[in-house]
Amino acid sequence: MENGRIKNILWDWNGTLLNDMELCIDCMNSLLDERSLPRLSPELYREVFSFPIRDYLLEIGFDFSKEPFEVPADRFVVLYNQRYPEARLFEDAAGTLEHFSRLGMSQFILSAQEHGLLERLLDYYEIRHYFEDITGTADNYAYSKLEAGKNLIDRHKLDPGETVMIGDTTHDHQVADALGVPTLLLAQGHQSKGRLRATGSPVLDDFDAIKKYLENHNGSIN
């Protein structure tokens, strides 16, 4: 991370603030069961989950010569929407948002989740007020997170040198890198610590470590 004071945080949502990995595995295992495909364990899931979602589904056995990609992708979203109250915010997620809010940082959400569902979830978990803006994608297929990020940065005239993205996947690192923004990766989400470390971005275990990292960074340039 360059020696600029961080004033803006772009938060990923699923697996970063929202602890929904078990729900995602359960929903996907329902689809795998319907097709007599091997089920996912948490350990296997964190090694195979990836973007684009189409490649992830191919990796775990879906055959798009037998059905279009959109069939399982849309069905997954239906199952997830039916059960999303089962997911919970990570411990101290709301407290961390409050912490950075009190420090005067501007906070945003940049998510691969469909925008309408993202809006409903933030209202459901009562944390919408922490964010200056939230940006999801236009469909259920997580195709357009980079484009959404470009639009968010342009809309708010954010300086990449004063901005950090916090996420939980290699895709978050890739998106942030394309945006010219450094990344902090949390190792409590949808991908294993080993996969995250391979990006070269700092990998941190929890929100306390995130707070300390940013406080140390900003404090060192006061």
- Per-residue pLDDT at 57: 98
Q: Specify the pLDDT at position 222.
A: 40
In angstroms, the CA 133 to CA 152 distance is 8
Biggest alpha carbon distance in the chain? Answer: 59
- For the chain, the domains span 8-19+88-219, 21-86
What tokens does 88 get? 């919970």
What would the two tokens of residue 13 be?
A: 């949502």
146/175 Cα distance (integer angstroms): 5
Question: Using the 8-state DSSP alphabet, how is residue 120 labeled?
Answer: H
Cis amide leading into 72 (omega within 30): no
User: What are 24-47's pLDDT values in tens digits?
Assistant: 999 999 999 999 999 999 999 999
For residue 221, the model assigns a pLDDT of: 42
**Token digits for 52?**
């684009």
Class of domain 8-19+88-219: alpha beta
Model pTM score: 0.93
For the chain, the 3-state helix, strand and coil shares in percent, each to the nearest 5, are 50, 15, 35
List 186's β-bridge partners, or say none.
Answer: 204
User: Cα Rg for the chain, rounded, in angstroms?
Assistant: 17
Q: d(Cα 158, Cα 122) in Å, to the nearest integer?
A: 23
Please, is 177 exposed, middle or buried when counting C-beta atoms within 10 Å of its C-beta (0-12, 13-18, 19+)? middle
CB 112 within 8 A of CB 167: no
109 residue type, one letter = I
What per-residue confidence (pLDDT) applies to 136?
Answer: 86
- The confidence score (pLDDT) of residue 219 equals 66
Q: Are 108 and 134 in contact (CB under 8 A)?
A: yes
Low-confidence ranges of the chain (pLDDT < 50): 221-222
